A and B are shown apart, each in its own frame.
Chain A
Amino acid sequence: MKTDRYIIFIFLFPALVILFFFKVYPLFYAVIRSLYSYSFIKHTLNFVGLINYIKLFSDPVFLDSLKMTLKFNLIVNPLQVIMATLIAVLVNQRVKGINTFRTLFYLPVAISIPIASVIWGLLLKPNGFINGILSLAEIPKQLFLISQTQALYCIILIISWIGFSYWMIFILAALQEIPLQIYESACIDGASPLQRFIYVTLPLLKRAIVFIAVGATTANFLMFAPVYTLTQGGPSRSTHLLMYEAYESAFSYSDVGRSNAIVVMLIMIILIVVGIQLRVLRTED
């Protein structure tokens, strides 16, 4: 069907322009800007090549933050993938009233990360609700977010409170596409529920699991909001995740080149980790 060029243009132009200028261009700018350094003395932007990156590797703050971010992700990503899958299976059970539970389980998805951070930040206060419950079991008050050892785990808890429900959505959708006949034949073959789960369900969920693994990894490596709202990297830098360091670099130390270098490094780490995940999860066929 003949369509005037300019009509196609009008239909596409607004979206493409916005996507280009506000998504694509900043990405390239980030990479290029990471190769420059601003001199406050001379008020000039100087090309310094990979210096920003090289300096990162001799910077104890960056290295500490890197170690912590890796540890954080090593825990939170598998945790979210496994729990999302288990909860999806739970909420897919055909028992009476399951729909109400399913609706309820969507609740955290409606809540944003900063709001969830504030909610849990209040619950985890030394004189807060969680300590109140613990006192029932005669467990002494925990410091939670002001404890060097516990703060990072608190953040893991907070983002997982939303994360479990969010990633569950994708597994649930995949679960609901599995035709019942497959289970029936497995039953006829005498498979136990656990066997059915491992040999029938899981393989069929592979694609969805890979999808949420990649999604969760990307989101969690770039985690920022809970740190900004609750701990500001503390106590004693125990929650100083890389994205927060990038933010501080730009807005507290005014070192935009370094800030972008950190972000680019984060992206590369994500690509590597995701690459490994795809390799590992794909070959298990």
Chain B
Amino acid sequence: MLGKKGFNSQIIIYILLFIYSLFILAPVYVVLVSSFRTSEDVFKYMTPFSWRTLIPTKITFVAYVDIFKEINFGRALFNSFFISIMSVLGGLVVNSMAGFAFAHFRFKGRDILFVIVLVTFMIPFESIAIPLYNFIRQLGLVNTYTGLILPSIANGMIIFLFRQFFKGFPQALFESARIDGASWFTIFYKIVLPISKPVIVSASILMLILKWNEFFYPLLVGNSPEYRVVQVAISNFFTQYQTKWNLLFAGVILAAIIPILILLPLQRFFVQAVTGTGIKE
């Protein structure tokens, strides 16, 4: 483990890395390649296995066009974008303010309240899914954007993230502003947030990916064609449309590409958010 590794160990390590990379990449590659085929060709070349399985001879974009025309995937994409972005914006405001309050305000019951907030993060969604659906239904928010966005805006983990970060700011930073008569709002929005870019990036990435990939909740609360998000749309598509495979593959690529493009370049921030380790520059 130290210094340069012996040649033999290096070979073994690279072999293992290569094998696991195949395990990760092969499914994605197959889907990508299949999305550029026509629906008849998709399974024509899978078995028997040949070089044609991996490299398409005729590339066509028909799947990508048809998926918008025939099953209105564009609507699902729009829904996912809109709901995810609004969730992130709302979440940034709500969770950062709560995190700041826990970090710098003194009030009775603060610590107990914070522990309770953390505990809510550990409540697995499935355990509250059905009663939550009932509640949303009572509120008349089924199949509405509000119903799809609102409940997940507050997130104990994100509040924790913000609190940890804000704790790094000394009270002295605020004292002079307070003496000058600045309100906490001014302090928060004009002083604190502008220098909080790292935690804002981490929190945004985490919230965006979580919301974009959310499935069970939108399945219950937003299953109508108008409000369906891509996760639900593709899942339903798989069971319903048993012949247009290439459309399905195209949908998968479109649905997966967004979180992939966000996660991979910014993985450092994602990892910091998920492990709750100190957010570093």
Q: A residues near B, CB below 8 A?
A: 1, 3, 5, 7-8, 10-12, 14-19, 21-27, 29-30, 33, 87, 90-91, 93-95, 98, 101, 103-115, 117-123, 125, 127-129, 131-133, 135-136, 141, 161, 165, 169-170, 173, 180, 183-184, 187, 193, 196, 218-219, 222, 224-225, 228-230, 232, 243, 246-247, 250, 256, 259-260, 263-264, 266-267, 270
Q: Which of B80-102 contact A (CB under 8 A)?
A: 93-95, 97-98, 100-102
Binding site for A on B (CB under 8 A): 1-2, 5, 9-10, 13-14, 16-17, 20-21, 23-28, 30-31, 34, 43, 46-49, 53, 93-95, 97-98, 100-102, 105-107, 113, 117, 120, 122-124, 126-128, 130-132, 134-135, 150-154, 156, 159, 171, 174-175, 178, 183-185, 188, 209, 212-216, 219, 231-232, 234-235, 238-239, 245, 248-249, 252, 255-256, 259-260, 262-264, 267, 270-271, 274-275, 277
Bound complex: CA A69 to CA B99 (Å): 38
Chain A positions within 8 Å of B234 at CB level: 114-115, 118
B1 touches A193 (CB 8 A): yes
Which residues on the A side are within 8 Å of B97 (C-beta)?
Answer: 10-12, 14-15
B135 & A26 in contact (Cβ 8 Å cutoff)? yes
- Contact (Cβ within 8 A) A260 B131: yes
Knowing A121-B238, A135-B48, the reply to whether A27 touches B259 (Cβ < 8 A) is no
> DSSP class of B's interface residues: helix, strand, loop or mixed?
helix
Which of A22, A141, A219 has the most C-beta atoms of chain B within 10 angstroms of its own C-beta? A22
**Is A123 in contact with B27, judged by CB distance below 8 angstroms?**
yes
- Alpha-carbon gap, A30 to B120, bound state (A): 15
Q: Are B105 and A95 in contact (CB under 8 A)?
A: no
Are A263 and B130 in contact, CB atoms less than 8 angstroms apart? yes
A25 lies within 8 A of B94 (CB): no
CB distance from A226 to the nearest CB of B (A): 10
Q: Are A180 and B175 in contact (CB under 8 A)?
A: no
Given that A90-B13, A106-B263, A131-B46 are contacting pairs, would A27 and B128 also be in contact in the complex, using a CB cutoff of 8 Å? Answer: yes
Which residues of the other chain, B, contact A11 by a CB distance below 8 angstroms? Answer: 97-98, 100-101, 105, 184, 188
Cα-based distance from A115 to B171 in the complex (angstroms): 46
Chain A residues within 8 Å of B215, by CB: 112-114, 225
* Known contacts A112-B213, A118-B252; A94/B5 CB under 8 A: yes
Contact with B25, one of A104, A135, A229 (Cβ below 8 angstroms): A104
A209 to B255, CA, bound (A): 32
Residues of chain A with a CB closer than 8 A to B271's CB: 169, 173
> A122 vs B28: C-alpha distance in the bound complex, in angstroms?
11
Residues on the B chain within 8 Å of A222, using CB? 124, 126-127
Instruction: List residues of chain B with CB within 8 A of the CB of A225.
Output: 215-216, 235
- List B contacts of A184 (CB < 8 A): 2
Please name the 7 residue pairs, one residue from A and one from B, whose CB atoms are nearest each other, closest first.
A112-B213, A15-B98, A22-B151, A18-B154, A26-B128, A11-B101, A222-B126
